[in-house]
């Protein structure tokens, strides 16, 4: 008699790994659909809000249909509200921009560039928001999986630091040849001299007579002193008055740049130097990136603001010591930087506009024959051009945000 052996039911799933991958794929597909729906909803709300704002700004007589303002006119009304805080928004609606402003080709280019930059910033922010959400989902899954494995407190803390991406900043010893106070006194003493020489510099590189968007970088030589230096210049037209633009620029360079992640500030230095409301000094370690190359610098900086009748000038002098370039420790590489930020009203463009111009001059102190000066100069060229563009954009964003807030307060 033959007996049939009954198979015992499996207590585990042999296809567990495959099922988990399938479930994860289904989850991610659903998440993509959800995020796309949220993105479309955000775009719809943003477009609806812009349409409502344009409709509110556009004059609509009883016997005519409501006409939407163009993008240029909307920004112009915000600019007018910002530069004329005492006037009601209804008054601004009743006073359209002069015909000379509407037809000036330079103004049309200014509005177009602002619209393009702001649209690019918005799209970048939306993409970054989606990326961060996906990264957060991945980190939460990693955290949950490791939570089941890790038991000891020390190991758990170490893993949390890895998940959160906590960075360890380099600490470099200060210079031994001079004290911080001596360095700052030297930097401050040269600011007034640099200010007196500003017209010569701006006339030589052409910024003094330039009233349009501009970017340039080149190596120059000073035969009288026998040195070579790097000069980087930029210019941008902004639809705001000189005072507002100058204040935004000063606040950006004094306060805004302290929030940059690549700056690690050391507030232990002695500040027994002559510092006033229009003078600022700072000491910090700086990490710069250009493509796949990184550099660590030790920086001392002094900055002073000059408020003239028709323009605002910010002059700074910086000295930095290169500590590390491309993971290679260096010594003896030192640069001095003289910078000019000029805010003035253009003479060839009608309306309440301002020119924001920047000029940075990098001079090696150790001499051009140092083996690392060339590599460092090329690295500074790439990073400074990117920093100037970023500064221009951040200042423009602040001004537009202030104009929008002021318009809301007037409504």
Vertex 249, ends 376 and 234: CA angle to 5°?
50
Average pLDDT over residues 302-309: 94
Say whether both 384 and 300 belong to one domain: yes
Which two three-digit tokens encode residue 329?
A: 């420790």
Q: 199-210, pLDDT tens digit by residue? A: 999 999 999 999
232 pLDDT tier (thresholds 50, 70, 90): very high
Tell me: pLDDT of 373 over 80: no
Residues facing residue 284 across a β-bridge: 265, 299
Q: What percent of the chain has pLDDT over 70?
A: 66
Domain boundary among 132, 164, 196: 164
Q: Please count the CA atoms within 13 angstroms of the CA of 358 that sit on its side-chain side.
A: 22
Q: Any idea what the CATH number is for the domain that residue 332 is in? A: 3.30.530.20
Q: Is residue 8 part of a domain?
A: no
Say whether both 227 and 262 belong to one domain: yes
Say whether both 260 and 131 belong to one domain: no
Please state whether 274 falls in left (phi above 0), alpha (psi between -120 and 50) or beta.
beta
Residues facing residue 231 across a β-bridge: 218, 361
Q: Is residue 14 part of a domain?
A: no
Instruction: Tell me which of 24-38, 140-154, 254-268, 283-297 is least confident.
Output: 140-154
For the chain, the average pLDDT equals 75
Average pLDDT over residues 27-41: 82
Q: Is residue 188 part of a domain?
A: yes
Vertex 308, ends 202 and 276: CA angle to 5°?
105
Residues 6+ apart with CB under 8 A from 103: none
Q: 155-187, pLDDT tens digit by residue? A: 445 444 444 444 444 544 455 567 888 888 999
Say whether both 230 and 93 belong to one domain: no
352 pLDDT tier (thresholds 50, 70, 90): confident
Q: Is residue 5 part of a domain?
A: no
Residue 297 CA, chain-centre distance (Å), reads 19
Say whether both 49 and 157 belong to one domain: yes
Query: Into how many domains does the chain fold?
Result: 2
Domain boundary among 164, 197, 221: 164
Residue with the larger pLDDT of the pair 91 and 84: 84
Say whether both 377 and 344 belong to one domain: yes
Say whether both 61 and 188 belong to one domain: no
Q: Is residue 42 part of a domain?
A: yes
What is the SS3 assignment for 177-192? Answer: CCCHHHHHHHHHHHHH
Nearest to 338 by CA among 364, 313, 363, 317: 317
Domain boundary among 164, 196, 226: 164
Cβ atoms of 373 and 333 closer than 8 Å: yes
Q: 252-276, pLDDT tens digit by residue? A: 998 876 666 555 555 444 444 556 7
Average pLDDT over residues 275-284: 84
Say whether both 148 and 184 belong to one domain: no
* Strand 311-325 versus strand 227-238 pairing type: unpaired
**CA gap 303, 200 in Å, rounded:** 20
Say whether both 144 and 195 belong to one domain: no
Domain range holding 302? 180-410
Instruction: Tell me which of 64-78, 177-191, 211-225, 288-302 is least confident.
Output: 64-78
Q: What is the DSSP letter of 1?
A: -
The predicted structure's pLDDT at residue 6: 65
Vertex 107, ends 102 and 110: CA angle to 5°?
140
The predicted structure's pLDDT at residue 167: 46
Q: Is residue 2 part of a domain?
A: no
């Amino acid at each position: 008699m033959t007996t049939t052996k009954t198979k015992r039911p499996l207590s585990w799933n042999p296809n567990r790994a495959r099922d988990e991958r399938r479930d994860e794929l289904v989850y991610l597909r659903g998440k993509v659909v959800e995020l796309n729906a949220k993105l479309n909803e955000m775009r719809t709300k943003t477009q609806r809000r812009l349409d409502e704002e344009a409709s509110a700004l556009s004059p609509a007589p009883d016997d005519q249909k409501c006409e939407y303002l163009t993008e240029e006119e909307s920004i112009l009304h915000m600019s007018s509200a910002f530069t004329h805080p005492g006037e009601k928004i209804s008054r601004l609606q009743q006073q359209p921009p002069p015909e000379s402003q509407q037809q000036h080709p330079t103004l049309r280019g200014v509005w177009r560039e602002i619209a393009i930059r702001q649209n690019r910033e918005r799209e970048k922010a939306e993409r970054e928001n989606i990326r961060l959400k996906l990264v957060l989902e991945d980190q939460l899954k990693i955290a949950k999986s490791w939570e089941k494995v890790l038991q000891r407190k020390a190991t758990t803390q170490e893993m949390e630091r890895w998940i959160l991406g906590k960075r360890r900043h380099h600490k470099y010893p200060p210079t031994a040849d001079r004290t911080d106070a001596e360095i700052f006194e030297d930097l401050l003493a040269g600011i007034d001299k640099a200010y007196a020489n500003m017209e010569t510099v701006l006339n030589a590189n052409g910024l003094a007579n330039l009233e349009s968007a501009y970017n340039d970088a080149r190596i120059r030589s000073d035969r009288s002193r026998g040195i070579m230096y790097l000069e980087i210049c930029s210019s941008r037209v902004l639809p705001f008055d000189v005072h507002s633009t100058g204040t935004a620029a000063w606040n950006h360079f004094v306060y805004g740049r302290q929030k940059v992640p690549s700056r690690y500030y050391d507030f232990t230095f002695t500040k027994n130097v002559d510092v006033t409301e229009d003078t600022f000094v700072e000491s910090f370690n700086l990490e710069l990136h250009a493509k796949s190359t990184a550099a660590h610098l030790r920086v001392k900086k002094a900055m002073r603001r000059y408020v003239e009748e028709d323009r605002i000038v910010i002059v700074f002098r910086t000295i930095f010591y290169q500590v590390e370039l491309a993971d290679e420790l260096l010594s003896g590489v030192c640069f001095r930087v003289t910078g000019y930020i000029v805010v003035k009203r253009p003479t060839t463009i009608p309306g309440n506009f301002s020119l924001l111009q920047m000029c940075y001059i990098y001079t090696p102190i150790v001499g051009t024959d140092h083996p690392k000066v060339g590599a460092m100069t090329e690295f500074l060229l790439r990073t400074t051009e990117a920093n100037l563009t970023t500064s221009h954009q951040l200042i423009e964003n602040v001004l537009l945000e202030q104009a929008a807030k002021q318009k809301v307060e007037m409504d």
